[in-house]
Amino acid sequence: MTDQRTHPNSYEARDTASIVHPLTNLKAHLEKGPLVIKEGDGIWVTDIHGKTYIEGMSGLWCLSLGYGQERLVKAATEQMSHLPYYHLTNHKSHQPVIELAEKLLEIAPVPMSKIWFSNSGSEGNDSAARIVWYYWNNQKQPKKRKMISHLRAYHGNTIASASLSGMHYNHASFGLPLEGFLHITPPHYYRNAHQDESEDAFTSRLADELEKLIQHEGPDTIAAFFTEPIMGSGGVIVPPDSYYDKIQTILKKYDILLVADEVITAFGRTGNMFGTTTMKLEPDMIVCAKGLSSAYLPISALMINERVFSAISDESSEVGVFGLTFTYSGHPVSAKVASETLRIYEDENIVEHVTHMEPIFLGGLHLLASHPLVGEVRGKGLLAGVELVANKDTKKAFDPKYGVGKYCADRAEEHGLIIRAIGDTIAFCPPLIITESEIKLMISRFNAALDDTLIMVRKSRYFE
């Protein structure tokens, strides 16, 4: 099932070790203390000592419109004074959430029927998993309960969404994943392809792996496949063009639902309103969060197509009530802010802006491909990963214990740039409002951090 475990440049060690860098463990955090941020403006944040940083990760991949969006503050303030709270259970609703649901259905990348609201990406994926089970029970196929997702995927941190995640650190010592949550090789050509394997042969092999897993487990037991159109926390992995076509053919063949986790990729991040469009997916459900409100308030939306909705509607009539809700689902203040966020995306032509910035951003990062530390530069839209390697020719990774990626991110912080080290991949996910000159400044600060890291790597003789 997991070919990469036997591959010489395997992620096995990285899955178990390097992603949890020593400095990210709790003891080290207590010793070092956090970077305490006081305020933000546009793409910039300032810490309590007055030092400013470019927020190159939009916080946790979420602050799409940056700081200081007065329209969002106004939307929240007004809603607070009119109706700070109402709920969506027992046949109740409110105007802000109705307006938001209608807008989301209008802009959905594939035909969708209903929106299910919750408060976070994790709850969105958790709800999707619950709805998948509900659906198959309605279809009189109660054995269809298993979920498949990618190793290195990140789908959240509730028990179900952490089980969907393919990260060692979300599972180890928590007794996860739950039974029936299965993981396949991530579609990362640079890292997981065999030597001399073409992209097409690589994606065929991964599709084959999926089909073998389905057959091994029994097609009548596989309920759904969850995927991030482009994997974020796993190291910004952009699947090869031919990947999803082959995967979706297999899912259709075995009647397996497809859930697109667009928690990072929705709302312009990849150069289209949805990653589903960028990667040519046809999901039954789509999970959105983060950029939905530009992170100004917590909210997530699960889009559900008619096939799934009509089944869960029938099933809930049988059961008597649809037993899935949260107190703050579709909170009116969050919903109002989300609707205003979607309006700003349109008014400011954010998707168009991203497509204009993409060549400056990815082109600028690609210029760094000749740097002695850089193995691969990958990305789409305003989302990118730069993987640092010990040997550019063999793609050999650094020993995770050296913490090279973390060292580089720390140097970037000294140069006034917040980025994220995922093992030795440096992730970039700047606010979508970033300008050409800000992108250039961000990349020059990163370049300085790379050069600092190179000095350390050479001194320490970490190259192989």
Ligand X SMILES: Cc1ncc(COP(=O)(O)O)c(C=O)c1O
Binding site for ligand X (CB under 6 A): 60-61, 120-122, 125, 154-156, 228, 232-233, 261, 263-264, 289
Minimum distance between the CB of residue 448 and ligand X, rounded to whole angstroms? Answer: 28
**Closest separation between CB of residue 267 and ligand X, Å?**
13
List Cα–Cα distances, 221 to 46, 180, 254, 310, 435, in angstroms. Answer: 51, 9, 10, 22, 49
CB of 329 to ligand X, least distance (A): 14
Q: Shortest Cβ distance from residue 456 to ligand X (Å)? A: 29
Q: Report, in Å, the least distance between residue 123 CB and ligand X.
A: 7
Query: Given the complex with ligand X, which of 9 and 334 has the nearer CB atom?
Result: 334
Identify which of residues 287 and 390 has a Cβ nearer to ligand X in the complex: 287
Indicate the residue among 262 and 387 with the shorter CB distance to ligand X.
262
Q: Which is nearer to ligand X, 63 or 373 (CB)?
A: 63
Cα separation, 79 vs 95, in Å, equals 11
Q: What would the two tokens of residue 51 be?
A: 């030092």
**Choice between 9 and 265, CB closer to ligand X:** 265
Residue closest to ligand X (Cβ): 121
Distance in Å from the first CA to the final CA of the chain: 30
Shortest reach from residue 187's CB to ligand X, in Å: 15
Q: Which residue, 259 or 443, has its beta carbon nearer to ligand X?
A: 259
Q: CB of residue 289 vs ligand X: minimum separation in angstroms?
A: 5
Name the minimum Å distance from CB 235 to ligand X: 12
Q: Which CB sits closer to ligand X, 211 or 261?
A: 261
Q: In this complex, which beta carbon is closest to ligand X, that of residue 138 or of residue 165?
A: 165
Question: Which residue is listed with tokens 């990406």?
Answer: 121
State which residue, 127 or 203, has the beta carbon closest to ligand X: 127
Identity of the residue, 61 or 296, whose beta carbon is nearer to ligand X in the bound complex: 61
- State in angstroms the smallest separation of the CB of 427 from ligand X: 11
Write down the least CB distance from residue 275 to ligand X, Å: 10
Rounded Cα gap, residues 422 and 343, in angstroms: 33
8 A C-beta contact, residue 150 and residue 225 = no
Distance from C-alpha of 30 to C-alpha of 195, rounded to nearest angstrom: 43
> Which of residues 274 and 398 has its CB atom nearest to ligand X in the complex?
274
Q: How far is the CB of 121 from ligand X (least distance, A)?
A: 2
